[in-house]
Structure 1
């Protein structure tokens, strides 16, 4: 199973970087060093989805995020970037997933304080529900002032050893795999070791059970090659909005919402890079379950 996961990780990374191209079964199977027949079966066994379902879901979720958050980008620009040949094909696929057209979705999307859900009604029809994260903006801003110190900082390049987690329920076990690997390499435990979570999907548009989170460890030098489920990952140097504070796991959602609010109100835009968390302490070692965390959004 470990070897299967290692090769599926390569294919998922390839898919994510090529959503704007034609992704054929044959090409992706080749990336994972499988025959097309065996790859299709193994991909579904590990991810719980067929390859085609996974690709379509990734394209549509990404388009939904752009429609809701980046309202200055034209719909045509969005669907062409994601590899849809024309408006009709994009419109039909989007409506099948969210129950309404992309233009209706954009008009009804309330912005950065809501989670976007696709819900099937009793008659089998799909409808879109915007589930509110935080009701009162003023209360959120007051909470932020008390709990987070927000700044814009230029962060250096970070070389990571990473383990992919499919779904929030599997993050802890992914860190377990990473720590066991690090112990064998004599990289853990050490005082300066930092753990980092990189979010490759947004909770705004992706169900928690399907969100991809990379459990990572910051390394002094780059990992040259994949070792089992451990693979190299790099966070590029650049400007970030950084919110720092001592919080509990239950506070994480508020931290992220408030950080994106601060980013928007200060006229920053997100780079094509993934948000991440840097942990400076372990909540399991604190009597109140708190930990020091940097919440980071890469920006222009």
Structure 2
């Protein structure tokens, strides 16, 4: 489990010491030894920011230090060295963080500004900041141990009745449509009925209003043809990482990040089929909005 800490701290150290260099997602994820897709999710959960937001904030903080300490340094040289395209973009971004234009900040900055948040440890990093991130990682690991049982298992091929939803907001209406269809065919309600979400796009890559998620119901036999908006879909069986737990909707992002962390640390890679969630209970029937869910990632 220490590997999580090592990778994340190493990556943050790299960003902070190369803040004026190429810090593309591809480059930084290479340092972390995670794939760009997995790194993006992990980094945001640990730091509370996207990679791009973190980099911009660190650039602005460094520019503030220069403005306060290097009084004779041209503002143009400061923002140019940090990769800002022009004066207008730099000023607008700086004011967003400090509430002042760079010139006003320079005039009002205290002489000892450079000591703020700059208590250095032996490796040249800010102790309090790294302690915070390590604490976030520890919290994630502890949360995962308490809430998810993760294992690798063979999952069967599944025959589904599916309704496509475009955008997160349309998932619940799609399930309602599917349930109405199932009621007419006496397929719902029934004992141990399983509702499933199949992710055909990643919520981290595709905009949330365009992401494609299939609202599905597990069937005993394959649906022979499309019926209105309900169509047959088959999910391949095979090896999956399965994380099972009783969680709320707000926990889903954390569950998926935990799953991808576990996958990387145990040297699995994804297969070319779709991840999915199996719902064993209904959160609307639980007083705390919890439900029992299996989060499933197809792997080699």
Q: 1 CA distance for matches of 2:292 and 2:24? A: 41
- Report if the CA contact (8 A) 1:197-1:276 is conserved: yes
1:192 maps to: 192
Which one has a bigger Cα radius of gyration? Answer: 2
- Does 1:268 pair with 2:264? no
Shift of 1:223: 0.7
Name the CA distance, whole Å, in 1 between partners of 2:150 and 2:23: 34
When normalised by structure 2's length, the TM-score is 0.59
Taking a change above 3 Å as real, the CA distance of residues 204 and 189 of structure 1, as seen in their structure-2 partners, is: same
Partner of 1:131: none
**Which deviates more from structure 2 when the two are superposed, residues 106-115 or residues 193-202?**
106-115
3-state SS in 2 of match to 1:180: helix
CA distances 1:55-79 after superposition (whole Å, capped 9, x unpaired): xxxxxxxxxxxxxxxxxxxxxxxxx
> In structure 2, how many angstroms separate the alpha carbons of the residues matched to 1:218 and 1:277?
12
Structure 2 equivalent of residue 48 of structure 1 = none
Does the aligned pair in 2 maintain the 1:117–1:205 contact within 8 Å? Answer: no
Once the two structures are TM-superposed, the CA of residue 104 in structure 1 deviates from its matched residue by: 4.2
The answer to whether the 8 A contact 2:248-2:283 is kept is yes
1-structure distance, mates of 2:196, 2:173? 15
Of the structure 1 ranges 151-160 and 134-143, higher mean CA displacement relative to structure 2 is found in 134-143
User: Helix, strand or coil for the counterpart of 2:209?
Assistant: coil
Two-structure CA RMSD over aligned residues (Å): 2.4
By how many angstroms is 1:192 displaced? 1.8
SS of the residue aligned with 1:113? helix
Equivalences for residues 27-66 of structure 1 within 5 A: none
Shifted more, 102-111 versus 255-264: the winner is: 102-111
Does the residue aligned with 1:138 lie in a helix, a strand or coil?
helix
Q: Does 1:106 align with 2:35?
A: no
Structure 1 residue runs without a partner (length 5+)? 1-101, 124-133
Using structure 1 for the length normalisation, give the TM-score.
Answer: 0.59
* Residue 108 of structure 1, CA deviation: 3.5
How far the C-alpha of 1:138 sits from its partner, in A, is 2.1
- Greater helix content: 2
Residues 29-56 of structure 1: CA deviation (Å, up to 9, x unaligned): xxxxxxxxxxxxxxxxxxxxxxxxxxxx
Deviations 1:151-173 (A, max 9, x none): 10101110000000001101110
**Structure 1 counterpart SS, 2:215:** strand
Q: How do 1:71-220 residues align onto structure 2 when only pairs under 5 Å count?
A: 104-109=24-29, 111=39, 112-114=41-43, 136-220=136-220
Aligned length: 188
Decide whether aligned partners of structure 1 residues 118 and 211 sit closer, same or farther in structure 2, where only a CA change above 3 A counts: farther
Q: CA deviation at 1:137?
A: 2.1
CA distance in 1, matches of 2:51, 2:231: 32
Q: Deviations over 1:3-26 (max 9, x none)?
A: xxxxxxxxxxxxxxxxxxxxxxxx
Query: Would you say 1:246 and 2:246 are equivalent positions?
Result: yes
Kept in 2, the 8 Å contact 1:274–1:297? The answer is: yes
Please state which structure has a larger fraction of its residues in strand: 1
- Whether the aligned pair in 1 keeps the contact of 2:244 and 2:295 (CA below 8 Å) is yes
Runs of 4+ in 1 over 3 A off after TM superposition: 102-105, 114-119
